[in-house]
Chains A and B, each alone.
Chain A
Protein backbone atom coordinates (compact mmCIF):
# COMPACT_ATOMS: atom_id res chain seq x y z
CA UNK A 1 0.00 0.00 0.00
CA UNK A 2 1.62 3.21 -1.07
CA UNK A 3 1.08 6.47 0.79
CA UNK A 4 -1.32 7.75 -1.89
CA UNK A 5 -3.44 4.64 -1.59
CA UNK A 6 -3.64 4.98 2.18
CA UNK A 7 -4.65 8.63 1.86
CA UNK A 8 -7.32 7.67 -0.66
CA UNK A 9 -8.74 4.92 1.53
CA UNK A 10 -8.93 7.16 4.58
CA UNK A 11 -10.53 9.99 2.60
CA UNK A 12 -12.99 7.63 0.94
CA UNK A 13 -14.08 6.12 4.25
CA UNK A 14 -14.49 9.54 5.89
CA UNK A 15 -16.46 10.93 2.93
CA UNK A 16 -18.74 7.92 2.72
CA UNK A 17 -19.46 7.81 6.45
CA UNK A 18 -20.13 11.55 6.49
CA UNK A 19 -22.54 11.13 3.56
CA UNK A 20 -24.41 8.42 5.47
CA UNK A 21 -24.61 10.67 8.52
CA UNK A 22 -26.04 13.45 6.33
CA UNK A 23 -29.05 11.33 5.42
CA UNK A 24 -29.38 9.56 8.74
CA UNK A 25 -28.94 12.38 11.22
CA UNK A 26 -32.17 13.46 12.94
CA UNK A 27 -30.85 16.91 13.83
CA UNK A 28 -30.76 18.97 10.63
CA UNK A 29 -27.93 21.28 11.71
CA UNK A 30 -25.78 18.25 12.43
CA UNK A 31 -26.71 16.91 9.00
CA UNK A 32 -25.58 20.21 7.45
CA UNK A 33 -22.24 19.99 9.28
CA UNK A 34 -21.75 16.41 8.14
CA UNK A 35 -22.46 17.72 4.63
CA UNK A 36 -19.57 20.17 5.11
CA UNK A 37 -17.31 17.26 6.02
CA UNK A 38 -18.43 15.35 2.91
CA UNK A 39 -17.70 18.36 0.71
CA UNK A 40 -14.25 18.72 2.26
CA UNK A 41 -13.59 15.03 1.58
CA UNK A 42 -14.59 15.51 -2.06
CA UNK A 43 -12.15 18.45 -2.26
CA UNK A 44 -9.34 16.17 -1.03
CA UNK A 45 -10.33 13.64 -3.71
CA UNK A 46 -10.05 16.36 -6.34
CA UNK A 47 -6.55 17.11 -5.07
CA UNK A 48 -5.63 13.43 -5.40
CA UNK A 49 -6.90 13.58 -8.98
CA UNK A 50 -4.56 16.54 -9.65
CA UNK A 51 -7.39 18.99 -10.32
CA UNK A 52 -6.11 21.59 -7.86
CA UNK A 53 -8.16 24.45 -9.27
CA UNK A 54 -11.36 22.46 -8.89
CA UNK A 55 -10.44 21.52 -5.33
CA UNK A 56 -10.12 25.14 -4.20
CA UNK A 57 -13.25 26.10 -6.16
CA UNK A 58 -15.08 23.27 -4.38
CA UNK A 59 -14.06 24.59 -0.97
CA UNK A 60 -14.76 28.22 -1.86
CA UNK A 61 -18.17 27.64 -3.47
CA UNK A 62 -19.62 24.56 -1.85
CA UNK A 63 -18.35 24.99 1.70
CA UNK A 64 -18.07 28.76 1.64
CA UNK A 65 -21.43 29.53 0.04
CA UNK A 66 -23.77 26.59 -0.51
CA UNK A 67 -23.24 24.93 2.85
CA UNK A 68 -23.74 28.27 4.59
CA UNK A 69 -26.95 28.79 2.58
CA UNK A 70 -28.17 25.38 3.69
CA UNK A 71 -27.36 26.13 7.34
CA UNK A 72 -29.17 29.46 7.11
CA UNK A 73 -32.22 27.79 5.56
CA UNK A 74 -32.26 25.14 8.29
CA UNK A 75 -32.09 27.81 10.98
CA UNK A 76 -34.78 29.98 9.40
CA UNK A 77 -37.25 27.13 8.89
CA UNK A 78 -36.98 25.45 12.22
CA UNK A 79 -40.18 23.83 13.46
CA UNK A 80 -41.11 23.40 17.07
CA UNK A 81 -41.85 19.71 16.63
CA UNK A 82 -38.50 18.83 15.08
CA UNK A 83 -37.58 16.36 17.74
CA UNK A 84 -40.90 14.56 17.74
CA UNK A 85 -41.73 14.07 14.07
CA UNK A 86 -40.07 11.31 12.13
CA UNK A 87 -37.30 12.24 9.75
CA UNK A 88 -38.28 9.80 7.02
CA UNK A 89 -41.47 9.74 5.04
CA UNK A 90 -43.90 6.89 4.53
CA UNK A 91 -42.12 5.26 1.63
CA UNK A 92 -38.58 5.04 2.97
CA UNK A 93 -38.75 1.25 2.86
CA UNK A 94 -38.94 1.54 -0.94
CA UNK A 95 -36.15 4.08 -1.21
CA UNK A 96 -33.50 2.02 0.60
CA UNK A 97 -33.68 -1.09 -1.65
CA UNK A 98 -33.94 1.18 -4.68
CA UNK A 99 -30.68 2.87 -3.72
CA UNK A 100 -28.94 -0.46 -3.16
CA UNK A 101 -30.19 -1.88 -6.46
CA UNK A 102 -29.09 1.26 -8.27
CA UNK A 103 -25.64 0.93 -6.70
CA UNK A 104 -25.34 -2.66 -7.90
CA UNK A 105 -26.53 -1.66 -11.36
CA UNK A 106 -24.03 1.19 -11.56
CA UNK A 107 -21.15 -1.10 -10.60
CA UNK A 108 -22.16 -3.62 -13.25
CA UNK A 109 -22.37 -0.84 -15.82
CA UNK A 110 -19.02 0.68 -14.86
CA UNK A 111 -17.20 -2.64 -14.96
CA UNK A 112 -18.04 -2.88 -18.63
CA UNK A 113 -16.42 0.45 -19.47
CA UNK A 114 -13.11 0.01 -21.24
CA UNK A 115 -10.49 1.25 -18.86
CA UNK A 116 -12.26 0.29 -15.65
CA UNK A 117 -9.02 -1.04 -14.26
CA UNK A 118 -6.97 1.74 -15.80
CA UNK A 119 -4.11 3.13 -13.77
CA UNK A 120 -3.25 6.79 -13.90
CA UNK A 121 -0.60 7.70 -16.45
CA UNK A 122 1.72 10.47 -15.30
CA UNK A 123 0.47 13.76 -16.61
CA UNK A 124 2.36 15.17 -19.58
CA UNK A 125 1.61 18.79 -18.80
CA UNK A 126 2.65 20.59 -15.64
CA UNK A 127 -0.03 21.66 -13.17
CA UNK A 128 0.49 25.34 -14.01
CA UNK A 129 -0.17 24.67 -17.68
CA UNK A 130 -3.34 22.81 -16.75
CA UNK A 131 -4.85 25.90 -15.16
CA UNK A 132 -3.85 28.07 -18.12
CA UNK A 133 -5.31 25.54 -20.54
CA UNK A 134 -8.53 25.40 -18.56
CA UNK A 135 -8.84 29.18 -18.72
CA UNK A 136 -8.17 29.17 -22.46
CA UNK A 137 -10.69 26.39 -23.05
CA UNK A 138 -13.39 28.37 -21.28
CA UNK A 139 -13.11 31.37 -23.60
CA UNK A 140 -12.02 29.68 -26.82
CA UNK A 141 -14.51 29.98 -29.66
CA UNK A 142 -13.74 26.41 -30.68
CA UNK A 143 -13.73 25.51 -27.02
CA UNK A 144 -16.38 25.87 -24.40
CA UNK A 145 -17.28 29.53 -24.52
CA UNK A 146 -20.94 28.84 -25.29
CA UNK A 147 -21.60 26.63 -22.23
CA UNK A 148 -19.63 29.18 -20.18
CA UNK A 149 -21.85 32.05 -21.29
CA UNK A 150 -25.02 30.02 -20.85
CA UNK A 151 -23.91 29.14 -17.32
CA UNK A 152 -23.37 32.85 -16.61
CA UNK A 153 -26.90 33.65 -17.80
CA UNK A 154 -28.21 30.80 -15.69
CA UNK A 155 -26.47 32.18 -12.61
CA UNK A 156 -27.85 35.65 -13.31
CA UNK A 157 -31.38 34.28 -13.71
CA UNK A 158 -31.04 32.23 -10.51
CA UNK A 159 -29.76 35.24 -8.59
CA UNK A 160 -32.62 37.48 -9.70
CA UNK A 161 -35.16 34.71 -9.17
CA UNK A 162 -33.93 33.91 -5.66
CA UNK A 163 -34.07 37.57 -4.65
CA UNK A 164 -37.58 38.00 -6.03
CA UNK A 165 -38.86 34.80 -4.43
CA UNK A 166 -37.35 35.47 -1.04
CA UNK A 167 -38.55 39.06 -0.75
CA UNK A 168 -41.00 39.49 2.12
CA UNK A 169 -44.56 40.07 0.84
CA UNK A 170 -45.36 43.73 0.18
CA UNK A 171 -47.53 45.40 2.84
CA UNK A 172 -51.24 45.39 2.00
CA UNK A 173 -53.32 48.54 1.45
CA UNK A 174 -54.75 48.63 4.99
CA UNK A 175 -51.30 48.55 6.57
CA UNK A 176 -50.06 51.29 4.26
CA UNK A 177 -53.03 53.57 4.99
CA UNK A 178 -52.74 53.27 8.76
Chain B
Protein backbone atom coordinates (compact mmCIF):
# COMPACT_ATOMS: atom_id res chain seq x y z
CA UNK B 1 0.00 0.00 0.00
CA UNK B 2 1.04 3.62 -0.25
CA UNK B 3 2.56 5.05 2.91
CA UNK B 4 1.70 8.60 3.90
CA UNK B 5 5.30 9.71 3.37
CA UNK B 6 5.01 9.41 -0.41
CA UNK B 7 2.13 11.91 -0.53
CA UNK B 8 3.92 14.32 1.81
CA UNK B 9 7.14 14.25 -0.20
CA UNK B 10 5.24 14.85 -3.45
CA UNK B 11 3.29 17.72 -1.92
CA UNK B 12 6.49 19.28 -0.54
CA UNK B 13 8.15 18.98 -3.94
CA UNK B 14 5.27 20.66 -5.77
CA UNK B 15 5.18 23.38 -3.09
CA UNK B 16 8.85 24.15 -3.58
CA UNK B 17 8.51 24.20 -7.37
CA UNK B 18 5.64 26.66 -6.97
CA UNK B 19 7.72 28.74 -4.56
CA UNK B 20 10.53 28.96 -7.11
CA UNK B 21 8.01 30.01 -9.73
CA UNK B 22 6.56 32.72 -7.50
CA UNK B 23 9.99 34.09 -6.54
CA UNK B 24 11.92 33.87 -9.76
CA UNK B 25 9.55 34.71 -12.61
CA UNK B 26 9.18 38.16 -14.14
CA UNK B 27 5.70 37.99 -15.58
CA UNK B 28 2.96 38.63 -13.02
CA UNK B 29 0.69 35.93 -14.47
CA UNK B 30 3.52 33.40 -14.16
CA UNK B 31 3.90 34.37 -10.49
CA UNK B 32 0.21 33.68 -10.04
CA UNK B 33 0.63 30.25 -11.62
CA UNK B 34 3.31 29.50 -9.05
CA UNK B 35 0.92 30.50 -6.29
CA UNK B 36 -1.72 28.15 -7.69
CA UNK B 37 0.83 25.31 -7.59
CA UNK B 38 1.52 26.05 -3.93
CA UNK B 39 -2.19 26.02 -3.09
CA UNK B 40 -2.62 22.68 -4.83
CA UNK B 41 0.29 21.20 -2.89
CA UNK B 42 -1.35 22.36 0.34
CA UNK B 43 -4.58 20.68 -0.70
CA UNK B 44 -2.81 17.37 -1.39
CA UNK B 45 -1.27 17.58 2.07
CA UNK B 46 -4.59 18.31 3.76
CA UNK B 47 -6.41 15.45 2.09
CA UNK B 48 -3.55 13.02 2.67
CA UNK B 49 -3.51 13.82 6.39
CA UNK B 50 -7.28 13.55 6.51
CA UNK B 51 -7.29 10.14 4.85
CA UNK B 52 -4.46 8.59 6.78
CA UNK B 53 -4.70 10.03 10.25
CA UNK B 54 -8.31 11.06 10.84
CA UNK B 55 -10.81 9.84 8.25
CA UNK B 56 -13.66 10.03 10.75
CA UNK B 57 -13.79 13.78 11.10
CA UNK B 58 -14.72 15.94 8.13
CA UNK B 59 -12.40 18.80 9.04
CA UNK B 60 -9.74 17.93 6.46
CA UNK B 61 -12.13 17.95 3.54
CA UNK B 62 -13.88 21.12 4.71
CA UNK B 63 -10.54 22.88 5.03
CA UNK B 64 -9.65 21.79 1.49
CA UNK B 65 -12.95 23.17 0.19
CA UNK B 66 -12.24 26.50 1.88
CA UNK B 67 -8.82 26.50 0.21
CA UNK B 68 -10.58 25.97 -3.16
CA UNK B 69 -12.80 28.98 -2.50
CA UNK B 70 -9.87 31.15 -1.42
CA UNK B 71 -7.77 30.11 -4.43
CA UNK B 72 -10.62 30.90 -6.81
CA UNK B 73 -11.25 34.36 -5.35
CA UNK B 74 -7.54 35.17 -5.23
CA UNK B 75 -7.05 34.11 -8.83
CA UNK B 76 -10.03 36.18 -9.96
CA UNK B 77 -9.01 39.37 -8.16
CA UNK B 78 -5.33 38.95 -9.01
CA UNK B 79 -5.99 38.51 -12.71
CA UNK B 80 -8.41 41.44 -12.74
CA UNK B 81 -5.67 43.58 -11.18
CA UNK B 82 -3.12 42.36 -13.73
CA UNK B 83 -5.40 43.19 -16.65
CA UNK B 84 -6.12 46.62 -15.19
CA UNK B 85 -2.40 47.28 -14.75
CA UNK B 86 -1.74 46.17 -18.31
CA UNK B 87 -4.31 48.67 -19.57
CA UNK B 88 -2.52 51.56 -17.87
CA UNK B 89 1.16 50.67 -18.01
CA UNK B 90 1.28 48.24 -20.96
CA UNK B 91 3.53 45.96 -19.02
CA UNK B 92 3.06 43.05 -16.66
CA UNK B 93 6.67 42.44 -15.73
CA UNK B 94 6.79 42.57 -11.95
CA UNK B 95 10.11 44.44 -12.08
CA UNK B 96 8.52 47.40 -13.87
CA UNK B 97 5.73 47.87 -11.31
CA UNK B 98 7.85 49.76 -8.80
CA UNK B 99 6.07 53.08 -8.32
CA UNK B 100 5.68 52.41 -4.59
CA UNK B 101 9.38 51.76 -4.09
CA UNK B 102 11.22 54.36 -2.05
Task: Tell me the total A-B contact number using a CB cutoff of 8 A.
Answer: 255
Say yes or no: A99 contacts B94, CB within 8 Å: no
With an 8 A cutoff between CB atoms, is B58 at the interface?
yes
User: Which interface class (under 10, 10 to 19, 20 to 34, 35 or more) fits A?
Assistant: 35 or more
What is the chain B residue whose CB lies nearest that of A53? B61
What is the chain A residue whose CB lies nearest that of B15? A106
What separation, in Å, do the CA atoms of A87 and B94 have in the docked complex? 11
What residues on A are CB-neighbors of B13 within 8 Å? Answer: 16, 19, 103
What is the chain A residue whose CB lies nearest that of B94? A89
* Interface of chain B: mostly helix, strand, loop or mixed: helix
Given known contacts A39-B40, A46-B47, A158 and B82 CB-to-CB distance under 8 angstroms: no
Kindly identify which residue among A73, A138, A155 contacts B62, using a CB–CB cutoff of 8 Å: A138
Tell me the smallest distance from the CB of B58 to a CB of chain A, in Å.
Answer: 4
Given known contacts A66-B71, A70-B32, A137-B58, A4 and B2 CB-to-CB distance under 8 angstroms: yes
What is the chain B residue whose CB lies nearest that of A103? B16
Say yes or no: A115 contacts B53, CB within 8 Å: yes
What is the chain A residue whose CB lies nearest that of B85? A77
Interface-central residue, A91, A154, A161, A166, by most chain B CB under 10 Å:
A166
What separation, in Å, do the CA atoms of A87 and B20 have in the docked complex? 13
What is the chain A residue whose CB lies nearest that of B93? A85
Give the interface of A toward B (CB within 8 A): 2, 4-5, 8, 12, 15-16, 19-20, 22-23, 28, 31-32, 35, 38-39, 42, 45-46, 48-51, 53-54, 57-58, 61-62, 65-66, 69-70, 72-74, 76-77, 79, 85-92, 94-96, 98-100, 102-103, 106-107, 110-111, 115-121, 123-125, 133-134, 137-138, 143-144, 147-148, 151-152, 154-155, 157-159, 161-163, 165-166, 168-169
A79-B90, A91-B24 provided; 4 other pairs, C-beta below 8 A?
A19-B18, A20-B17, A77-B86, A89-B95
Minimum-distance CB pairs A-B, first 6: A158-B73, A23-B21, A95-B23, A92-B24, A137-B58, A95-B24
